Structure 1
């Protein structure tokens, strides 16, 4: 905790070892032309250590992987969350997985999954693929959260699969799914205001766009550098629509928390964004 605030980092990527972390970070950084130094490794020990030193109560593991190892990666994520109850597990899907998606989703939920993370641009699939309809329908039936990567990565855009225009039809169709769009919908203020107005089931995570980490602020075009922008957005759409997230180990929760705590927001707004919304979405829910 920080003071009386429960802190939840709603967007963190975790890896099973330093070797795996190094391989993933090097590959991802090369693909997306990320030249700044990662502030950590994202191993479980690294994340837990950062949580203790920075006052973070819970971390949401927003993991995904290549299709071949996606199921195994989901199972590992769930296993780590059982070992460490302050790690909240999301699972991922890909249309090319050779399995019954609804069966897998039931299995994952029974093992503790608290939501789904999809990164269509990096995973290389159209999120409107009909093979995923069963997943969306079941999530809609039980109001199971889905976190979508939204927008570019470090100014690189490999395809349109994570664009707002691609994701919006799903938000409109599945009204009972809480959808979290990462990176404040690619930092487009007009999109944030419009989506928040028209859809009650959409939330936005703050990662990268409302960043305090100097290398990101210096290199990422969509980042909101002037606090007046996020403060204006928050006052317009309500703190209830934002989830604090860092995108560690690319972003820095320490720097981001420092920025949020210094913003000219009232304590209730900060408490809602920094923890209460994520607790409601990912912790205070049960599924049969």
Structure 2
């Protein structure tokens, strides 16, 4: 991956459909989230289409599925398929995975295999959709693997568009995604690299406090148009957290085109903009100008550094 030549690194994109056409959300939740985000254009790009989309924009993208099968009954897009697509498009795709914490020891075993054999660089957790508190010990085996292998744990925080507008929110409970629960994880796993995804409404101040207090905690700015960012988030991004804030879009529900157009209007310091758009992510992901970042072909061990 030519990191020096990239315009930006988007640390938050979704693989929403498998090669067989299988979606990661059921029709009701999918339709509701599309309405919530006022999605325009194609909502279910294939992995190859996503790679082409980012290549056209000279950007790289972290991509993942969400495994919440225990709570939703819907199978995720296979992690292996996401990693294989990244291996086929190493110039633009960076593979993360997702494992339902309720998979127990089998999930822990799978996590290690995904890092060691497929080159996965991190794991996406969505507490509200998966139905668990991040500081629940049932997930600690997964965190141990993530920390040990030097991978990244990315946690959805705050409100979610998934289930919004569906009666009862589709059974999805917002309480699980308070970033203060991730503070326990950061304390119990002091060397774990963590990303708090999204402006964490209604817990924005909690997220800022955790990221300021815990060295390994970062914040991505995905899921919201920058014109709606709370002022304290902009202030911290410009100052105390200027090295820990990351560009993320939430593609395909929010495109990088829209996000970047609105970000250009924010009062972000000139010296901070390139850090948010690329430099902070490149450092966190361990990318170099000549080093690869995509997944490794099946059966090949990763060279992920701790």
TM-score range (shorter-chain normalised) is 0.7 to 0.9
Any stretches of 5+ residues in structure 1 without a counterpart?
218-222
Aligned equivalent of 2:45: 42
Q: Tell whether 2:108 aligns with 1:109.
A: no
1:75-154 to structure 2, matched below 5 A, reads 75-85=80-90, 86-97=92-103, 99-110=105-116, 111-154=118-161
Matched position secondary structure for 1:77: helix
Any stretches of 5+ residues in structure 2 without a counterpart?
288-302
1:242-268 Cα offsets, whole Å, 9 max, x none, are 111010111111011122234333343
Q: Tell whether 2:250 aligns with 1:253.
A: no
Aligned equivalent of 2:11: 10
Richer in helix (by share): 1
Which structure would you say has the larger RCO, counting Cα contacts within 8 Å and 6 or more residues apart?
2
Asked whether the equivalents of residues 171 and 179 of structure 1 are also in contact (C-alpha less than 8 Å), the reply is yes
- How has the CA–CA distance of structure 1 residues 23 and 163 changed in structure 2, closer, same or farther, with 3 Å as cutoff? closer
- How has the CA–CA distance of structure 1 residues 260 and 5 changed in structure 2, closer, same or farther, with 3 Å as cutoff? farther
Q: Tell whether 2:208 aligns with 1:193.
A: yes
Q: Distance in 2 between matches of 1:51 and 1:24?
A: 26
- How has the CA–CA distance of structure 1 residues 236 and 117 changed in structure 2, closer, same or farther, with 3 Å as cutoff? same
1:200-226 Cα offsets, whole Å, 9 max, x none, are 1111110123x15xxxx7xxxxx327x
Kindly tell me the number of residue pairs found equivalent between the two proteins: 275
Matched position secondary structure for 1:113: coil
Q: Distance in 2 between matches of 1:229 and 1:91?
A: 31
Q: Distance in 1 between matches of 2:24 and 2:149?
A: 37
Q: Distance in 2 between matches of 1:32 and 1:99?
A: 34
1:158-237 to structure 2, matched below 5 A, reads 158-159=172-173, 160-186=175-201, 188-209=203-224, 211=225, 223-224=228-229, 229-237=232-240
Mean alpha-carbon deviation: is it higher for 28-37 or for 255-264? Answer: 28-37
Mean alpha-carbon deviation: is it higher for 239-248 or for 89-98? Answer: 89-98
1:96-121 Cα offsets, whole Å, 9 max, x none, are 32653443222111211000101111
Mean alpha-carbon deviation: is it higher for 62-71 or for 193-202? Answer: 62-71
Q: Structure 1 residue 195: deviation in Å?
A: 1.6
Q: Distance in 1 between matches of 2:45 and 2:103?
A: 25
Aligned equivalent of 1:286: 304
1:253-272 to structure 2, matched below 5 A, reads 253-272=256-275
Aligned equivalent of 1:220: none
Q: Distance in 1 between matches of 2:85 and 2:141?
A: 27
Asked whether the equivalents of residues 10 and 245 of structure 1 are also in contact (C-alpha less than 8 Å), the reply is yes
Asked whether the equivalents of residues 109 and 287 of structure 1 are also in contact (C-alpha less than 8 Å), the reply is no
Aligned equivalent of 1:277: 280
Q: Distance in 1 between matches of 2:257 and 2:33?
A: 26
Q: Distance in 1 between matches of 2:74 and 2:285?
A: 24
